[in-house]
Chains A and B, each alone.
Chain A
Amino acid sequence: MSFQIDFLVSIGMFITMIFLLLHFVLSSDYQTDLEAKFKFYKINKYILPNIIDYAYTFSIILNSSEQLINEIVEFDYKNLKMNINPNSTMIFDENGNTVQYDVINTTIKFVVNVSANITKVFYIYVNDNTNATHQNIYVNGNNSINESITPMRAIEIIWHENLIKLSNRSYSKLRNIVKADFNITIGNFSYGVEAKGKNIVSFYQPIIYEENATLKKGILKFMVIQ
């Protein structure tokens, strides 16, 4: 009799253990993590490379012991050994204001006022987009000091053109690649399905992006909808 009780208890324990084992292996948390990882991998590999592009950036530094009015700043991409489209240049001052410029072949010219003994820095962003066009402005002034130019660096950037390309792509095709509903947003741009009220796993990346013909700092969010 006691043998039979022992046997039943053992069988009970065995079944419980097997059940617990299966439960842990197939537990939803663990699977969600793996699934989300896999889907992020798909977004990272197949979608983001089409929208995240590269740009080159460098700074121009001006310093003068006396005040300068209408000082011309001038640089030539040829001298910088850069094979890019000068029309894709964007220039910003330290406060993030856009600076208008003139393009003559591969030379960029713009005009600034410099206060005495105050370093002024301008940030240049440019890429090799051959389609970029630019409205030239007339630049007039004096070129009395030499500017310093920092080495160029490549940075990640999202151009508006790439967002347009993404919005023209079929969502259902991309959904088949990711194997889940997803949503990508940056600034006013959104692609994919609405994630409101649904379980999401999200990841975000701060990035510089182009909107309304200027560069902005923003956060690229991509969400996998569970």
Chain B
Amino acid sequence: MKGYLYTLEVVISIALLMIAITFVYKTEAQISFEHHLLKEYGINALQFLDANHTLRKFVYENNETYIETLLRNYIPKAINYEFSNNCDMINVPENKTVVTVSYYLAGYMNVYKPKKICLYLWG
């Protein structure tokens, strides 16, 4: 009878382990999907502003605030974001998982002036 109980204990332990593993797997899968969506929204918004010739003008005028106002129209309200002209991380929360979208511009008008800009997004 004692041996039988040991077997039962082992079975219970395995079940507990499987529950723990399931929890870990479930959380990771959801996070990666959310991150993928955040990134998609960020890239789409920046590409769109670039396509309609708005992004470069305000990037090279260093008008971060106006770009952030424009982005609000194209990023869902549930998503928080911070735009940076020089990829600094001021105003980006430290205690959240933040997705970064980097975007490269070659120049504005007929002036060649490469620049890297960053859009930080979090849920």
Binding site for B on A (CB under 8 A): 3, 6-7, 10-11, 13-14, 17-18, 20-21, 24-25, 27, 29-30, 33-34, 37, 57, 59, 61, 119, 121, 123, 148-151, 153, 155-157, 203-208, 217, 219
Contacts and interface: CB of A to CB of B under 8 A. Distances in A.
**Which of B26, B33, B45, B53 gathers the greatest number of chain A CB atoms within 10 Å?**
B53
B74 A33 contact: no
A24 B19 contact: yes
A60 B22 CA distance: 58
8 contacts: A10-B5, A10-B12, A24-B23, A149-B110, A151-B106, A156-B51, A206-B48, A206-B73
A52 B22 CA distance: 39
Task: Classify the secondary structure of B's interface with A.
Answer: helix
A85 B103 CA distance: 31
B53 A18 contact: no
A94 to B, nearest CB: 9
A136 B39 CA distance: 43
B51 A57 contact: yes
A61 B109 CA distance: 7
Contacts of A20: 19
Interface centre among B18, B45, B51 (most CB of A within 10 A): B51
Given A24-B22, A37-B33, A61-B109, A17 B51 contact: no
Interface string B7-18: 011011001101
B69 interface: no
Given A17-B19, A155-B51, A6 B109 contact: no
B54 to A, nearest CB: 9
